Structure 1
Amino acid sequence: MHALHKLLLFHLLTSLGRDALGSKIINGKKAPENSMQYMVSLQTSKGEHECGGFLISEDFVVTAAHCNGCKVVLGTHNLKACGIERSIVKWCKHKNYKNVGEGNDIMLLKLSQKVQLDNSVQTIQLPTSEMNIGDKENCQVAGWGKTQTNGPAVDELRVVDVSTINKQVCERRWADLPLPDNVICAGGYKTNKGFCQGDSGGPLVCNGKAVGIVSFNMGHNCNYPNFPNVYTDISKYLPWIDNVLQQKNC
């Protein structure tokens, strides 16, 4: 039955289209200048923004496995402004990723060449060991896109404060469509703040470290509260991440 529920979750998310996934920021604010220099826009060849991501080394970006794109833009909060562009040469999806409903929604992107770290581009730290995120920790999530259900996208990076949600509470809310393993819940439940439809892959940042990756919410509805927002728990994938970074290959 558990496998059936996961299959139902997958079909529900995919039947709603790509917009069922994402991190468009609800009730957030414009990100301050000279902040979040690790944020990355994953784009199509035509320069259309597809997903968020974040820089963890001079030549690797982390995003969600369900994301698509062939290049990244760094060093700018405004997608209409000129940023630093790099093509992608390797898409390293986790080997166990099948769909968002079954988890492992994490991917590393190998850039065509290293970026120089400076005042406009910086990396963000990951957890140093496997961790269990506590209840009601204050964190942030950022992204480009819609600021309300069926609303317009935005060009400037927006950020919102969210609190982590007890895993048992989250599991009960998602009881009819059980959560995959290795996830964190934050925002989108008993609050009017969280992420919405559009681009995924952005980081959940707690205490200055990227601890989660935006994976999915429930349907097209961003009129919170309803279901907790779900992130991939980065700390559960540290050995895999380290291996990719060392080998410079998938």
Structure 2
Amino acid sequence: MLSLQKILLLHVLACLGRLAHGSHIIDGKKAPENSMQYMASVQDYNGHHVCGGFLITEEFVVSAAHCDDSSLTHVVLGNHNLKNGNHQKIKIENKIIHENYQHVGLGNDIMLIKLSEKVQLGHGVRIIPLPPAEINLKENQVCQVAGWGKTKTDGKLVDELMVVNVSVITSKNCEEQWPGLPANVICAGGYETTKGFCQGDSGGPLVCHGFAVGVVSFNYYNNCNYPSKPNVYTDISKYRKWINEVLKTFF
């Protein structure tokens, strides 16, 4: 359980605008064709991209809890270019937010999206596996994060999926930079690098060795090119039991 001091600190940071939802990809490149086919664009009723996500079964997408919004209506899969119509557009049937989620800076920033119908796998779409209940990420281990959006601070949104390599930062080092860091998170990219994510495209996966190990959660406000704080992700391995329980309720 977070101490009252940590909770108050994170609320103060949030009020000051220092916690910012991620992630537009910074210092990355266009994702190669036919790669990362698990990526999902969570969109509103106007067809605008709101958040990222990733497919874990034929009927479920994982995203960030802070992405929850009444305007979200559907998920788009199967195309890196959001302006290209060759994709699967599926309505959202239900959104399940972790019961302990309160605020992005307090952790538990994870959401499951139940699709209204099964995805057709094999048409530019595939499932990404989740890590086992415990993972051991090493310092400086290189992983990937992907998303749609700005490629620099105050830049313009992009239509094509971008991807960048980021290095894992130990929890000890991350806690030193983020006093009051919530439990069950992974830090990678951002701090002391030009690579990572920025505002506006949360919910995408941190991918290590072919597993979706993290969900893009938050970074340090308004400094994406040379951020002074590490990028923070929800640690999926800590939520495997919750995910499995949710999936069972629909089968």
TM range (shorter): over 0.9
Match of 1:33 in 2: 33
Q: Contact 1:201 / 1:214 at 8 angstroms: preserved in 2?
A: yes
Change in CA separation of 1:186 and 1:153 when aligned onto 2, cut-off 3 Å: same
Match of 1:110 in 2: 114
Greater shift, 114-123 or 230-239, is seen at 114-123
- Structure 1 regions of 5+ residues with no counterpart? none
CA drift at 1:14: 5.5
Structure 1 residues 36-185: aligned runs within 5 Å: 36-68=36-68, 69-82=72-85, 83-175=87-179, 178-185=180-187
TM-score (norm 2): 0.94
CA drift at 1:230: 0.2
CA deviations on 1:37-68 (whole Å, 9 max, x unpaired) are 00000000110110000000000000000003
CA drift at 1:74: 0.4
Structure 1 residues 225-236: aligned runs within 5 Å: 225-236=227-238
Q: Please state if 1:3 is matched with 2:28.
A: no
Q: Contact 1:14 / 1:20 at 8 angstroms: preserved in 2?
A: no
CA drift at 1:245: 1.1
Q: What letter corresponds to residue 133 of structure 2 in structure 1?
A: S
CA drift at 1:15: 5.3
Distance in 1 (CA, whole Å) between partners of 2:15 and 2:113 is 23
Match of 1:22 in 2: 22
Quick one: percent identity of the two aligned structures? 60
Which 4+ stretches in 1 moved above 4 angstroms? none
Q: What letter corresponds to residue 207 of structure 2 in structure 1?
A: V
Structure in which a larger fraction of residues adopt strand: 2
Q: What letter corresponds to residue 74 of structure 2 in structure 1?
A: K
- Structure 2 regions of 5+ residues with no counterpart? none
2:243 partner SS:
helix
Distance in 1 (CA, whole Å) between partners of 2:5 and 2:42 is 33
> Between Structure 1 and Structure 2, how many residues are aligned?
246
Q: Contact 1:26 / 1:222 at 8 angstroms: preserved in 2?
A: yes
Q: Please state if 1:221 is matched with 2:217.
A: no
Greater shift, 1-10 or 21-30, is seen at 1-10
TM-score (norm 1): 0.94
CA RMSD in angstroms, aligned pairs only? 1.7
Q: What letter corresponds to residue 148 of structure 2 in structure 1?
A: W
1:146 partner SS:
coil
CA drift at 1:9: 2.0
Match of 1:247 in 2: 249
Q: Contact 1:6 / 1:179 at 8 angstroms: preserved in 2?
A: no
